[in-house]
């Protein structure tokens, strides 16, 4: 059945205006006023904003790590994402050295197929670069539509790749039309500092932060940026947490290097003192990069406002406090890294950003949806409210106040990283390709509805504003 969303305020990355939206066959067929509402489901959005559905570019669902597996899989994780206003996630497909890349992709398809409640795609981890890997990449881009490659500069002896691998990945990405992503921390120095700390009997969660200082993130970010410039390629730095990394990204952008930066809500509202909570509660806040001293928050907010950082991901990577995080009670290096963020990403940015005057409404949409769609080959199918775009829409109440809690969230994990935090603004209804996933704050979707999305190649012109033309 056709749908009409009426009386809402439409907000895109560029415009804010009142209009109605006509939805047919899963796409936006018209935007205007006074549509014929016969044989239509009418959705009254009076008093609400209508945003493009959120796109989360950074999730780890059903991911093995540290002898365990993330608590949220593609079913619970995407349902929670939908409650948070997100209609598409891009998850990280982990590879194993010596094994075909395609085998890892098939594993991720098995994890996600018939489970995801919203649309999804994959990034592909590159842990080594050799003739076999090189031979696989063109087909993966063409057949799988995976056009972003992740290189870890940290997690020595687990995920970490060397600089030669990073550089070769950048070179190939330039040739093939892909965007390279980096986890920017100096894994070799971290390995030394963590070993030293444990020898000195320093085992508490706070040492996770103290052995991964911000200088290490800044150094790796600068190194990756310079290698990107040398390769004349393109780079996306994930989960930027500190002033050191922001500075390196800003300097590289001034030099004309194609580099973009993502931060996450946890770095905007939480700080290093959370890792000092008593009774091992600090383990709830162990992820990488770690939380930083509070003053870094102002730097991150300013970077979002002025464009030195461009997107907001969640880095969703949830582990239960009881039974998973407590694997590291005697050794902070054994605490599974990650937190439950996916559901609160957009509400936190709206409440702490828009409502407090740190960013504009249009910037909010750009950071949570449009810029991500453009960077990762989803635009204009996703990330916009335009005729011909998928009807991925978020109806959002900007006035309601609520308190975040594990008692009311929809993630499978047993705690909230933002427990007790009051926010203003809440998703009310969420549509993915024209169908309700969440309606009036109730889940009405179904697992398996989400489709795997093949993405187009990296296109710098598209990112910089020369929009593709939609075809019907």
Query: Alpha-carbon distance 128 to 85, whole Å?
Result: 36
Query: Alpha-carbon distance 417 to 374, whole Å?
Result: 30
Specify whether the CB–CB gap between 86 and 72 falls below 8 A. Answer: no
Percent of the chain past pLDDT 90, that is, above it, reads 95
Across 190-207, average pLDDT: 98
Percent of the chain past pLDDT 70, that is, above it, reads 98
377 exposure class (CB count in 10 Å sphere: 0-12, 13-18, 19+): buried
Query: Alpha-carbon distance 62 to 65, whole Å?
Result: 10
**What pLDDT does residue 465 have?**
56
Across 31-41, average pLDDT: 92
Across 416-426, average pLDDT: 98
Tell me the pLDDT of the chain averaged across its residues: 96
- Write out pLDDT tens, residues 66-92: 889 999 999 999 999 999 999 999 999
Q: Is the pLDDT of residue 466 over 50?
A: no
Total Cβ atoms within 10 A of residue 97: 10
Tally of helices (H runs) and strands (E runs) in the chain: 14, 21
Calculate the CA 297 to chain-centre distance.
18
Across 210-223, average pLDDT: 98
b/e 136-170 (16+ beta carbons within 10 angstroms → b): ebeebbeebbbbbbbbbbbbbeebbbeeebbbbbb
Q: Is the pLDDT of residue 471 over 90?
A: no
- Write out pLDDT tens, residues 342-382: 999 999 999 999 999 999 999 999 999 999 999 999 999 99
With bands split at pLDDT 50, 70 and 90, how would you rate the model's confidence at 1? confident
DSSP, res 339: B
**What pLDDT does residue 468 have?**
41
> Which residues, other chains included, contact 426 with Cβ-Cβ below 8 Å and sequence gap of 6+?
347, 396, 397, 400, 402, 441
Q: Is the pLDDT of residue 470 over 70?
A: no
- Write out pLDDT tens, residues 305-339: 999 999 999 999 999 999 999 999 999 999 999 99
Query: Alpha-carbon distance 164 to 176, whole Å?
Result: 18
Single out the residue of 121, 116, 120 nearest to residue 74, CA to CA.
116
- Write out pLDDT tens, residues 254-294: 999 999 999 999 999 999 999 999 999 999 999 999 999 99
- 27, 101, 189, 416 from 160: Cα distances, Å: 41, 16, 12, 29
Specify whether the CB–CB gap between 441 and 361 falls below 8 A. Answer: no
Rounded to 10°, the helix 243-254/296-306 angle is: 30
- Name residue 150's beta-bridge partners: 125, 181
Q: Is the pLDDT of residue 472 over 60?
A: no
114: helix, coil or strand?
coil
Q: Map out the domains of the chain with their CATH numbers.
A: 2-51+384-398+424-463 (2.30.40.10), 53-375 (3.20.20.140)
412 exposure class (CB count in 10 Å sphere: 0-12, 13-18, 19+): middle
- Name residue 259's beta-bridge partners: 235
């Amino acid at each position: 059945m056709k749908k009409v969303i009426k009386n809402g305020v439409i907000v895109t990355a560029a415009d804010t205006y009142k209009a109605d939206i006509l939805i047919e066959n899963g796409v936006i067929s018209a935007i205007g006023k006074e549509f014929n509402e016969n044989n239509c489901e009418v959705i009254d959005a009076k008093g609400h904003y209508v945003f493009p559905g959120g796109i989360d570019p950074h999730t780890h669902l059903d991911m093995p790590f540290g002898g365990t597996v993330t608590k949220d899989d593609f079913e619970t994780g995407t349902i929670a994402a939908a409650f948070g206003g997100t209609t598409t996630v891009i998850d990280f497909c982990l590879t194993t050295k010596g094994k075909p890349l395609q085998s890892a992709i098939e594993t991720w398809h098995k994890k996600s197929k018939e489970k995801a409640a919203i649309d999804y795609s994959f990034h592909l981890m590159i842990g080594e670069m050799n003739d076999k890997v090189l031979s696989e990449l063109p087909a993966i881009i063409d057949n799988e539509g995976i056009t972003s490659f992740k290189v870890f500069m940290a997690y020595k002896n687990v995920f970490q790749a060397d600089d030669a691998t990073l550089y070769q990945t950048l070179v190939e990405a330039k040739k093939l039309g892909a965007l390279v992503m980096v986890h920017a921390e100096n894994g070799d120095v971290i390995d030394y500092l963590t070993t030293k700390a444990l020898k000195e009997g320093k085992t508490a969660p706070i040492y996770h932060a103290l052995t991964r200082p911000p200088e290490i993130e800044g150094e790796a970010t600068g190194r990756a940026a310079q290698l990107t410039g040398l390769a004349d390629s393109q780079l996306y730095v994930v989960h930027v947490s500190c002033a050191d990394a922001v500075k390196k990204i800003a300097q590289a952008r001034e030099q004309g290097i194609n580099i973009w930066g993502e931060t996450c809500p946890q770095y905007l509202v939480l700080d290093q003192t959370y890792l000092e909570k008593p009774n091992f509660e600090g383990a709830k806040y162990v992820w990488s990069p770690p939380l930083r001293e509070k003053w870094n928050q102002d730097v991150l907010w300013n970077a979002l406002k002025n464009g030195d950082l461009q997107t907001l991901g969640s880095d969703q990577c949830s582990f239960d406090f009881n039974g998973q995080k407590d694997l590291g009670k005697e050794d902070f290096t054994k605490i599974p890294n990650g937190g439950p963020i996916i559901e609160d990403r957009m509400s936190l940015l709206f409440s702490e950003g828009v409502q407090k005057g740190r960013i504009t409404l249009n910037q909010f949409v750009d950071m949570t949806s449009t810029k991500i769609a453009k960077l990762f080959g989803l635009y204009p199918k996703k990330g916009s409210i335009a005729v011909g775009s998928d009807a991925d829409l978020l109806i959002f109440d900007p006035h309601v106040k609520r308190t975040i809690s594990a008692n009311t969230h929809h993630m499978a994990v047993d705690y909230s990283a933002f427990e007790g935090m009051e926010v203003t603004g809440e998703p009310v209804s969420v549509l993915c390709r024209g169908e309700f996933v969440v309606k009036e704050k109730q889940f009405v979707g179904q697992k398996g509805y989400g489709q795997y999305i093949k993405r187009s190649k990296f296109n710098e012109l598209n990112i910089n504003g020369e929009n593709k033309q939609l075809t019907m």
